Amino acid sequence: MTLEANVDLIRARLPMDDGMSAVPYIQFSPKENQLQASLVVFPEFERLPLEKVRQRIALMSVVTYEQLKAGGLFPDLSEDDFVLKVIRPTAEPSRRLFAECKHGNVLFH
């Protein structure tokens, strides 16, 4: 019950587009030595046609990378040092990571 309430709170506060958060969360991972952007997806996004899901993830990756680089925040950022992670809001660690996108290539988990 508590998890469902928390997921509903998260969902209500995120700008959404077809079940995917429209604003990525940006952080640096010292373990992987790279800048990571994370997006949250909900079941309705996962039910979209696979090609549409792949395109949306790849597009968000490119847009986020370009905004970070061209926006002056990280002008020297290379594609090798950036990854977009797409996550599910779940308590099961093995199901949390839905996909990753690096160099425009989407890898589903």
User: Is the Cβ–Cβ distance between 87 and 46 less than 8 Å?
Assistant: no
Residues (pLDDT < 50) of the chain are 1-5
pLDDT at 23: 84
| Predicted structure pTM score | 0.81
pLDDT at 64: 92
CA 54/CA 48 separation, integer angstroms: 10
pLDDT at 39: 92
